[in-house]
Structure 1
Amino acid sequence: MIEIQNIHKSFGDNHVLNGIDATFEPGKVSLIIGGSGSGKSTLLKCIVGLHEPEEGHVFFDAQEFTVMNADERVSIRREIGMLFQNSALFDSMTVEQNIVFALDMFTDMSRKEKLERANFCLDRVNLKDTNKLYPSELSGGMKKRVGIARAISMSPKYLFCDEPNSGLDPATAILIDELIQELTEEYQCTTIVVTHDMNSVMGIGDYILFLYKGMKFWEGSNKDMLQSDVQELNDFVFASPLMKAARSTIK
């Protein structure tokens, strides 16, 4: 479980986050949604320690991450899997080398064990026999799956995904969503996804945190969201005809 309390973050005079509280539970896919500039990615970076909040607390299973020094944070970071928006693969490395890179940094596995783990993770994301390919030889969806394979290589307790469907066609985006949901259930990890994709929200959103102008405006499940009377949330969610139609079916 991850708990955040009263998170504030500013860049100069720009107050990006203003007192965010939330609890993210294991075995569930939690989504952070909101318009551009609402603070979604900044909040994610505060949780994983890429940004330091000016105020507030972040707890990983009751361990306060925000007060730890760099050495103390290593044990928690070993339990974190991260899928970046652009997949963040090393272009000069093969698929296999990209996955083994994390194992080289954080484990004492033998070379054989690392390769076996890489093969297992690639098979798990349906990319068997792609070991020797380079990122330039992969489609956008395949790159995202390699990124997921690398993220799960350490059997993470916490999985973070920043706009995992960015740049993907709808069919591939659904496959990525389903994979994230399956892995969350399989590993019983605490999964947090930053997204603006309403298909993701409706498909895998066990818990939704809606940010508006750096503030927490609403939280609940995707089913609760369809019944919400919070105007700012409705303006964001039901901007598309498809979502308006979805809402009308339950009224």
Structure 2
Amino acid sequence: MIEAKDIHKKFGDNEVLRGINSQFKAGKKNLIIGGSGSGKTTLLKCIVGLHEPTSGEVFYDGQNFTEMHFRERVPIRKEIGMLFQNSALFDSMSVEQNIMFPLNLFTDMSKSEKLDRANFCLERVNLEGKGKLFPSELSGGMKKRVGIARAISMQPKYLFVDEPNSGLDPLTSILIDELISELTEEYNTTTVVVTHDMNSVMGIGDHIIFLYNGEKWWEGTNKEIAHTNNKELNNFVFASPFMKAAREKL
């Protein structure tokens, strides 16, 4: 479990996060949603240590990550897998080299062991036999899946995913959501997903926090979201006619 306690984050005079408290549970898909500028990605970066909170604390299974020095954080960072919004693949590396990159940094596995692990991860995301290709030869959806394969290469205890469906067609988005869901359950991972995709929210949202103007405005499940009286959340989730019609059927 990951816990955020009273997280504040300022950039100059701009306070982006205002006292966020939440728990992200193991074996669950924990979604952070909200409009543009609400602080979703900033919160994610504070949790993984890419930003330091102005105040507040982050705990990984009871360990105070915020108070740790860089070297002390390494064991936890080895247990973190992350998929960035643009996949963040290295263009000069093949698919299998991209997947092996964290293995090269954090393990003493032999080259053959790393190749075996890379190929296993490719099979897991349904990209068997694509290891020799380069990112320029992949579609957007395939790049996302390679990003997921790299993220799980270290068998992470914690998986962070930033806007996994950005730029993807609806069918590919569903496939990515299903893959994230399967991996979370298979590895009992604490998965945290930043998304604005309402199909993802309603499809895989075990635990959802809604940010509004840098504050936690609502917290619950995808089943509870259809029956909330929270005005701002309703305006965000059910803004489109399609989502309004879907709500009426729930």
Q: TM-score, normalised by structure 1?
A: 0.99
- AA aligned to 2:171 is A
Task: Name structure 2 gaps, 5 residues minimum.
Answer: none
2:120 is matched with which residue?
A: 120
1:221 positional shift: 0.1
1:16 is matched with which residue?
A: 16
1:218 positional shift: 0.2
Runs of 4+ more than 3 Å apart = none
1:159 is matched with which residue?
A: 159
Do structure 1's residue 49 and structure 2's residue 49 form an aligned pair?
A: yes
**Secondary structure at the counterpart of residue 126 of structure 1:** coil
- AA aligned to 1:66 is T
In the TM superposition, 1:1-251 aligns within 5 A as 1-250=1-250
Q: Deviations over 1:189-228 (max 9, x none)?
A: 0000000000000010000100000000000001100000
CA distance in 2 between counterparts of 1:106 and 1:240 reads 45
- AA aligned to 1:223 is K
- Report the number of matched residues: 250
1:246 positional shift: 1.5
1:243 positional shift: 1.2
**Secondary structure at the counterpart of residue 27 of structure 2:** coil
- AA aligned to 1:147 is G
Q: Deviations over 1:102-157 (max 9, x none)?
A: 10001111111100000000000000010110000000000000000000000000
- AA aligned to 1:231 is K
CA RMSD of aligned residues (A): 0.5
Task: Name structure 1 gaps, 5 residues minimum.
Answer: none
- AA aligned to 1:191 is T
**Secondary structure at the counterpart of residue 18 of structure 2:** strand
Q: TM-score, normalised by structure 2?
A: 0.99
CA distance in 2 between counterparts of 1:98 and 1:243 reads 38
**Secondary structure at the counterpart of residue 127 of structure 1:** coil
